[in-house]
Amino acid sequence: MMVKMGSVRERGRRGGEAPVVQFLVVVMLVVLAGGPTGPLLLLGVVSAGASACDISEYSCEDGGGCVSLSHFCDGVAHCTDYSDEPPGCSVCNRTFYGYVDHTYQLEVPAPPASRAGPPPAASNPLILLGSTSLSDGFKCILTFTAIGRTHGDIIQVTFSEFHVGHFNDEVTEEGRVVGCTGDHVSIEEPKLPVRGGKWCGEGSGLNVYYSDSDTVSVTLHAASTTQGEYFDNPLKFKIKYKFLRRERAIVRYGRGGSLAKYRGEPVGNSACSRVFQGCRARRCRLQSPNFPGLYPRNVTCYYLVKALPAPSPDLLPVVTLRQENDRLVQVGRQKPGSQVSPESHLWQDDECQSPEDYLLVYDGGSMKAPLLAKMCGTATIPNITSSGPEMLVVFQTAISGKMKHFSNLVTGFELEAHVLFMKQNPSRVNSAPCAQIIKSFDGSAGVVSSPIYALPANASCSYEFQGRRNEVVWIYFTKYHRARQKEVMMNYIPCRNRLAIYDGTTLSDNKSEISTLMGEYCDDLLPPICVRSRQKGTVSHPCTLKESFLSTGTSLFITQEFTEGTSLFPHNYVIQYEFVSLYQPGKESGSDCDRVFTSAQDNKGHFSSPKNVFLYGRGGKSSLSCKYTFQTLPGEAIKLKITSVGFRGNMCKTVHNFQSNLYECIARLPGSAVLEVWEEPWGHTRLPLGCMCDAGVTPSTFVSHTRLVQLKFAVKEMNWSQDFKDFFFDAEYQFIKTRECTDERILNGSTGSITIRSDDGFADCIEYPWKIVAREHSHLYLNIPGYHASSQRCSTENRVVVYGSHTARPIKAVCPETSGTDSVDIFSSGWNSALDLTEPRPDSLIIRFLSREPAKYKLTWLEVRREPRPSALESLKSAGGRGHNTGASCPHQCPELDACISPELWCDGVKHCPSGADELRTTCLYFTVPWLYLILGAVALLVCLLVFASALVAVRIYQRGKVKRKKKKEAQRLMTREVILPLNFHKENIY
């Protein structure tokens, strides 16, 4: 018996291939259902004939042309003979082909059983293809195949209208949603394992399916329903399909070449599981099945990312998972109409309930590893990093789902996987993944950051800082940020993500070791943060103790709890820590960094600049001055060796002065650091041994036979970023047994001489200084045979260096000569400056002999005095402006020195004035003759002469008066006689 139900023509031309001869085949297969008397089942009738149409086209029976297979039985006649719309035809149970980038449309009408009322009786022999019994209802299979080249490689199926069955939201006793129990749609790919998922309900949004293989089967399952039921839940099933080339699917596969996406290696007998390796060099992308379209229902996909071994044993490979584009993640939580931002949200943990689809991220290669995240929804995914070389991602989908997806998002997910190399942390405690013990032996300072790998819920990180003896721990936060979480009042947990800081605790379980809680912070309460320390270069102010934490002992403990994990809500913090060393050798004296050393403490040792940051700019101080004093006993000398010096950015230079044999600091500007070495032969008398302000002269050694040597380390005007790493020195000291310098080296008196020599018998004390002290209101004059040190006539390398009492710098350096007429005159520092009345110390000269070759010299000194000089006004008033004569108050004056010397030195037989004015013969005769008696005799003789002269004058005057009186009387008498007597009458004739 043969029954012809219609004809379906299949063609053999693919692309440009030649047409294939078609055959007419009539097949009838009889199946006895329920026994030999059961109904007959017609499985199919296929006809084929010769045609030139493409495989994606239907050939009209009259040869009038070719129409697309999507137009066959679409209710519209496209062939002139209406052969594309035969009676009783259906779009179901057919295979469709098409050209690349052409969009085709299909619509499955309501099943005939729905329109005819109750289903037919069991004796009806004719049912649709694919049914095994009438009780199975309506089953429509649409198969789409891409055969390559112009017919594409993959298939895009868009569900433009979808209303199939009803989605039951009721929850069973097991806590699962009922989902699709009646009419539904399933999507399978014959070349992949069967998934068995279902879609039902009313669709909305954009629902697109992209195949992973070249064949897709879409099956509509519709139960036989009554007409009333159908009107309550009408069937709508309209789809569009398109064939695509693989290279055009750049969202899934990338652009090719170096931009190609590595989607992992498929796992055999698995629907979607993949293994990823080499993700440091490759662009690894974890994609949901059929990405970027609808992912299948009822699947569990495993994505294992494995990192290759690190190139170095101190590096640990870790896997990082992220997605910064929030349009590439849509897993479950389908809510059509909502936007990506700000309503979009990534849900986690218990919020992703069945039949929710969700992602699970494990910190390891199996599901026994800690669960880092369980998430669903739509949002960006922050960095989720494993703590080891493997990470497992599990994608779980529910059996049933709805066709409701955002129109502006892809469906499913794409996650970026990358391998990083994390440096192995030697302070990590093996038993705890996020516990560290930081010891000062590993470094005096450093940074502790939140782990780059994600932590599961209820995890915690602990950091114990263990310092050495005489160390304290200083910490401060430069960053502390918690991702804000939505408040769920019904699940409110007090003090989430608690941060606690303890002073002096350990990681042991002995709670009694916890001494003091320094701070506790949780929820919106954050610890103090010192942001300024992150700035490079000079900053305005250092981190203060109010912005930091300082332990009282050698240890400090921090614990950070993560109540909700850190995978989806990152918790970032950066802790700067520093072990502050309070240790300094020697005995404390004066300020925080002054120290005293004696041979009773240790005969030799090492000392250096302080490493206490609180003494420098970064610790809040702008200036620093530390003194290291070395006290010797009789018969001891001290040897200092400066091994290294570091003054970063110092505006100063160290030069060696050959004439004084001293290192000197020149061009010293504010903000410079210097290292000065002094010796103190006597109380209140200091002599420089050297000054250093750069590393160009290290190592340098200083030896002193004096009673005390002091090294001064000084820094001024530091900025707030400088500390002991910018200014430091290292040195060694040693007390040496040596000959005691018992010679009397302190001299005083009106005059004297010093004989210096450089023979071997005086080697230990040869550079021990001499000190000449003047009496009150007196000064010193020193005469050294030789030349100025810079003179070209200098013929020796020996030098005599003279220091004053009021300055630490040498007054003069002299090139001495054993014989010669030239000499250098030196006055004490008080000679040319006013005496400091607030400092009662007398004026003095200090002499140091620098012996470089054998010689012997004699130096002479003289105590001199200068009379107080009147002011200019007083000088003009005195002597009619002729100046002030000091001869009366300074009778013993050396004119060439303009200085007075002691009277006992005048004419004592020794020349003290350079010109010998104190020993001139004329000057000394004045003191050898009894000048007083001579003067008295001369005065007496002068008086006698005056008396005699006076007497002579008086006699002469008397005689002259007597003659005058006599003449007068004679004149009077003559006048009378001449009148009376004749002219020839004479006097003798009168009588």
pLDDT score, position 292: 92
DSSP 749-778: SSEEEEEEE--GGGTTTTTPPEEEEPPTT-
Token pair 């005699």: residue:
948
**Per-residue confidence at 302, pLDDT binned at 50, 70, 90?**
very high
Instruction: Report whether pLDDT(386) > 60.
Output: yes
Pair 515, 506: CB distance under 8 Å: no
**Per-residue confidence at 214, pLDDT binned at 50, 70, 90?**
very high
Pair 451, 461: CB distance under 8 Å: yes
Q: Span 481-486, mean pLDDT?
A: 71
Lowest pLDDT segment from 58-72, 169-183, 813-827 = 169-183
Question: Which pairing describes strands 274-277 and 300-306: parallel, antiparallel, or unpaired?
Answer: parallel
Q: Is CATH 1.10.3720.10 the classification given to domain 741-865?
A: no
* pLDDT tens figures, 565-574: 888 888 899 9
Phi, psi (rounded to 5 degrees) for 950 = -65, -40
**Per-residue confidence at 43, pLDDT binned at 50, 70, 90?**
very low
How far apart CA 905 and CA 913 sit, in angstroms, is: 10
Q: Span 436-452, mean pLDDT?
A: 90
Pair 286, 394: CB distance under 8 Å: no
Q: Where are the domains of the chain?
A: 90-244, 249-422, 425-581, 591-737, 741-865, 866-938
* pLDDT tens figures, 839-874: 557 888 999 999 888 888 999 999 998 776 655 555
Lowest pLDDT segment from 4-18, 220-234, 634-648, 815-829 = 4-18
What CATH number was assigned to the domain covering residues 591-737? 2.60.120.290
DSSP element (H, E) containing 856: strand 856-865
Phi, psi (rounded to 5 degrees) for 975 = -60, -35
Q: Span 659-682, mean pLDDT?
A: 86
Q: Span 537-561, mean pLDDT?
A: 84
Asked, as a colleague might, if the bond just before 342 is cis with ω within 30 of 0, I would say: yes
pLDDT score, position 873: 54
pLDDT score, position 303: 97
Q: Span 932-955, mean pLDDT?
A: 82
How far apart CA 954 and CA 959 sit, in angstroms, is: 8
* pLDDT tens figures, 575-629: 999 999 999 999 988 778 999 999 998 999 999 999 999 999 888 888 999 999 9
Q: Can you name the CATH fold of 249-422?
A: Jelly Rolls (2.60.120)
pLDDT score, position 905: 86
pLDDT score, position 648: 86
Nearest-Å Rg of the Cα atoms of the chain is 59
Instruction: Report whether pLDDT(539) > 60.
Output: no
DSSP state of 933: H
Strand partners, 521: 499
**What does the chain come to in residues?**
991
Lowest pLDDT segment from 79-93, 420-434, 970-984 = 970-984
How far apart CA 390 and CA 364 sit, in angstroms, is: 5
Instruction: Report whether pLDDT(50) > 50.
Output: no
Lowest pLDDT segment from 326-340, 372-386, 408-422 = 326-340
Phi, psi (rounded to 5 degrees) for 985 = -85, 130
Instruction: Report whether pLDDT(96) > 90.
Output: yes
pLDDT score, position 578: 93
Instruction: Report whether pLDDT(339) > 60.
Output: no
Phi, psi (rounded to 5 degrees) for 593 = -120, 5
**Per-residue confidence at 111, pLDDT binned at 50, 70, 90?**
low
Pair 298, 184: CB distance under 8 Å: no
CATH topology of 425-581 equal to that of 741-865? Answer: yes
Q: Pick 821 or 339 by higher pLDDT.
A: 821
Pair 358, 348: CB distance under 8 Å: no
Q: Span 924-929, mean pLDDT?
A: 61
Q: Can you name the CATH fold of 425-581?
A: Jelly Rolls (2.60.120)
pTM of the prediction?
A: 0.67
pLDDT score, position 872: 53
pLDDT above 90 as % of the chain = 38
How far apart CA 223 and CA 113 sit, in angstroms, is: 9
Q: Which CATH superfamily is domain 90-244 in?
A: Spermadhesin, CUB domain (2.60.120.290)
Task: Locate 68 and state its tokens.
Answer: 């697309």
Q: Span 522-551, mean pLDDT?
A: 79
Q: What share of the chain is helix, strand, coil (3-state, %, to 5)?
A: 15, 35, 50
Residue 617 burial (10 A CB sphere; 0-12, 13-18, 19+): buried
pLDDT score, position 173: 77
DSSP state of 690: E
Lowest pLDDT segment from 248-262, 372-386, 957-971 = 957-971
Please name the amino acid found at residue 687.
L
Q: Span 817-829, mean pLDDT?
A: 86
How far apart CA 912 and CA 914 sit, in angstroms, is: 6
Phi-psi region of 690 (alpha: psi -120 to 50; beta: other; left: phi over 0): left
pLDDT score, position 712: 95
Pair 22, 49: CB distance under 8 Å: yes
* pLDDT tens figures, 771-797: 999 988 889 999 999 999 988 899 899
Q: Pick 533 or 740 by higher pLDDT.
A: 740
Identify how many contiguous H helices and E strands the chain contains and give both numbers: 6, 58
Instruction: Report whether pLDDT(41) > 50.
Output: no
Task: Locate 319 and state its tokens.
Answer: 């896997």
Phi, psi (rounded to 5 degrees) for 916 = 75, 20
Mean pLDDT of the chain: 80
